[in-house]
Every structure is written in structure tokens, then in C-alpha cells.
Amino acid sequence: MGVSVILNAAIAIVGPFFPPEAEKKGVELKTIGYIFSAYPMAFVIVSLIMPTILHYTNQRVVFVASSIIYALSVAGFGSIVFMEKDYLIIFGLIFRVLQGSSNAALYTTSYSIFSGHYEGGDFMKVNSMFKGTIGVGLLIGLLVGTLLYIAGGYFLPFLVYSSVMLLAVPFTAKLIPSRPLEDKGDGKYSDKSSDEDIEIGEDEKNNASTGEDFSEGQTSGSARIVKRKINPFKLVWHLLSNKVILKCLILAVIDLMLLNFAPAILSRRLAELKVSKQLYGVFFALPFVFPIVSALIVVRVMEKIDNHVLL
């Protein structure tokens, strides 16, 4: 959650500060929009393949490597202000793709970690608080970023947030488990094999009648814990074809469309209204008070209100 706050703080400062700097270099507003869109495009693509990658890869390595890539790409995006127009566009796109890709890897790994520690209502509460860190990060990022922008110009807030992210890496490297954790039922957690899935089947007699062949298992009463090879590609497709998940995805897409179209054009509008650039961060920060409040409300009412109604 701490990494999420830092990550979103770095995301926040792009909206108010990048467009004016790019326009000074002669970059058209349309091109600025393309640079903004590179981030979510990379995020979507990597989010779809990350479950498969995590199935075969040490999640600690993914989390740490993604944090480092994200931090360096944030600093890199801040440095493009020193480049000429053509290089600014090229490297702007590259660094945004790297940010979106590493962000997707960090979030997917975080959800993997949470799902290994929490179930049901507890997972939903943690998820709501995790969403709240997005609002906290965006809000803090804009407010502190505005002060840094006033003090040292465009590059300074990017450099500071990049440095904070890098400083956090050694701490997260010690905390993040290398593999998803599985509850053994005794209150302790242990590493789970990367290529096996734990399922509860019927007793051996019923299993035999189905013709299914399991590699190994344990019989406990009338239930049998079995380990079966899973295909991560089929798993992703199965999730995407689920109607409930698909509805949630559509709502999430609409949500992000409404959230992300404004940054590329809001700076231009504020400039037309002759708003001081020192106040840009405040205008961008105000909306993100609501995700924080929303997360707090959801945690309190989610067990009292039907999920469909809440959604």
C-alpha cells in the first residue's frame, strides 16, 4: 500500500505539469494526448499477461524489478523537459509505456499477495483500502508536487518521487513473499507451488468414476485435496468470459475513461483562464479527495448492503 501511494503520487504530477512544458517545445495537444494514452494502453496489455507471468515467476522479483523500472521511468519522464521536440515525443512515449507496464505488474502482484492472505469480506476490505491508497497518492502527489514544482521547476517533483520509490525497494524486497501463500488451516502460511492448483474433490471412489487423473492427493474424510496442473491462459480466458467479471470490467473501463481524459486538456483550459501555474496542482488534486472518502465509506457499509446495489 505504501508503494501504491508513492506510485500514484508520481502519476499525479504528469497531468498538471507536462502539457504546458510540452507546448513550450511546440508539441501539439493531439500529440500530448497520444503520450498520455501510451500509459493506459501498456497497463491493459501487461495486466492481461501478468497472471500468466506470475504463475511461472518469483513474485518478489517481479515486484522489485517493476518498482525499479517504474522509478527510473518517472525520473526519465521528468528529464524529457531538457530535450528537443522530436526526442521529447519519442522518449515521452517510451517512458509512459514503461510506467504503465511496471504499474500493471505492481498492481497484479499486489492483488496476488492480498488474495493469498485474505479471503471473502476481509479481502474486500483490504481491496477497498488499497483503492483508497490511489486517492491518497494522487492527492499527496499533487499537493507536494506543486510545492516542488514551485521550488525547483518541472524536473524536481519527478526526481523526488523517483528517489522515494527507489528508497522503498529494499524494504519491500524483504517483505514480499517469493510465492503466493496458501492457508494450511492452522493459522500459518507456507509457499505454494507455482505449477499446481489445490482443489477440493470428492472421495477417491467418486474421483475414479470421473476418469480424472490427479498427480497426487490426500484423503481426508469424504473430501480429497488434489493437485492438478493448470493452464494460466485458459484461466485468464475463463475469468474474462465470466459475465459478472465482464460487467465489472466494463464499469472499470468507463470509470477510467472519465478519469483520464481530462488531464491532457485541463492544463490548456486553466491557461486560457489565466490561472497561475502554481495553482494547477490544487485543481487536479481536489477530485481525488473523493476516492479516499469513498474507500472509507465502502469498508463500513459493504457488509450491510448487497454488493450489486453498492456496485
Amino acid 229: pLDDT: 55
Amino acid 93: pLDDT: 95
| pLDDT one-digit tens code per residue, 238-272 | 877 888 888 888 887 887 777 666 666 777 788 88
Q: Which domains does the chain have, with CATH numbers?
A: 2-180+232-310 (1.20.1250.20), 196-228 (no CATH)
**Separation of alpha carbons 281 and 129, rounded Å:** 24
Read off the pLDDT band of 132 (50, 70, 90): confident
Amino acid 271: pLDDT: 80
| pLDDT one-digit tens code per residue, 201-231 | 444 444 444 444 444 444 444 444 444 555 6
The model's pTM: 0.69
299 in Cβ contact with 128 (< 8 Å) = yes
| pLDDT one-digit tens code per residue, 71-111 | 999 999 999 989 999 999 999 999 999 999 999 998 888 88
Report, as an integer, the average pLDDT of 121-145: 81
Report, as an integer, the average pLDDT of 60-75: 92
**The residue type at 59:** Q
pLDDT for residue 130 is more than 50: yes
Burial class (CB in 10 A: 0-12, 13-18, 19+), 225: middle
Better pLDDT: 117 or 34: 34
263 in Cβ contact with 16 (< 8 Å) = yes
Amino acid 85: pLDDT: 92
Amino acid 252: pLDDT: 79
Amino acid 258: pLDDT: 75
| Residue 251, C-alpha cell as written in the block | 464499469
pLDDT for residue 3 is more than 50: yes
Cβ neighbours for 288, distance < 8 A, ≥ 6 positions apart: 12, 135, 138, 139, 142
**Separation of alpha carbons 216 and 83, rounded Å:** 60
pLDDT for residue 299 is more than 70: yes
